[in-house]
Amino acid sequence: MHQMAHEAEQNRGIAAWAEEEYAKNQKQQEVHKIDTSTLTTEERLTELYKQSVANSGVRIIPGDRLGLHHQIANYWQENPFKILALLGVPTVAWIFYGRTGQAHLQTQMKVMHTRVMGQFSVITMLLGLMGFKEYMDRNGKFITEADADARVAEMGRVRQELLQRLQREQEAQAAKDLELQVAHAKDVATGNVHSKKKQHGKKAERNTAATKTPTTMEQKVGV
């Protein structure tokens, strides 16, 4: 679930990046007067989405299924310590089992031999595992072409949702502005605007008088 949420967040970020890149390309085309009439807006955005997916740290494999070695490489990259435990524990157990057949060695010596050889084996495995993980991190994990297309479609869907939400917000704001204009027109037609202004002026006068009254009383008491 955490990985799916991370991928969804990454798709939203890539969609926003593609929108910015599209706006930049539009400005550059206006400056250099490049003819792009043969491509629609959606096609150009789709190309940007594909480019962003290809540059997001993945290696796209043709087809809709990864090979076994690709799956192992991806699992190796994501879970190096699980593989280390999976290989290290049986290796140490096998080393100790090999010492049990040597009757001339005491148990303490068998344990010491197992510890020394086990440490060497585990450290060697760790170096190999982390070296391959570094290679995968640098070059990217493997995904199928179908997965890449699905990511492109997801980014297009996110963009459409953003555009629809912006349109709904604009329509709601326009409806609210229209409602205010109609209400204001009714007030002007019925004269409520002037009466409201008079009421507001009378209220302000009353507040001013109430403020001055205590001052007058204090002057009389002082006299």
Express each pLDDT in 114-169 by its tens digit: 888 889 999 999 999 999 999 988 888 888 888 888 888 888 888 888 888 888 99
19 three-state secondary structure: helix
Residue 14 has pLDDT above 70, yes or no: no
Look up the pTM and report it. Answer: 0.51
How many other C-beta atoms can be found within 10 angstroms of the C-beta atom of residue 57? 13
Question: What pLDDT does residue 13 have?
Answer: 60
How many other C-beta atoms can be found within 10 angstroms of the C-beta atom of residue 52? 19
Which residues does 58 contact at the CB level (< 8 Å), separation at least 6? 140, 141, 142, 143, 148
What percent of the chain shows pLDDT beyond 70?
68
CB 36 within 8 A of CB 29: yes
Residue 79 has pLDDT above 70, yes or no: yes
**CA distances, 38 to each of 41, 44, 78 (Å):** 10, 10, 43
Question: What pLDDT does residue 127 have?
Answer: 93
Average pLDDT, the chain: 75
CA atoms within 13 A on the CB side of 109: 8
What percent of the chain shows pLDDT beyond 90?
12
For 101, phi then psi, to 5°, come to -80, -10
175-221 pLDDT, tens digit each:
998 888 888 888 777 876 555 555 555 566 666 665 655 544 444 44
Residue 105 has pLDDT above 60, yes or no: yes
CB 64 within 8 A of CB 174: no
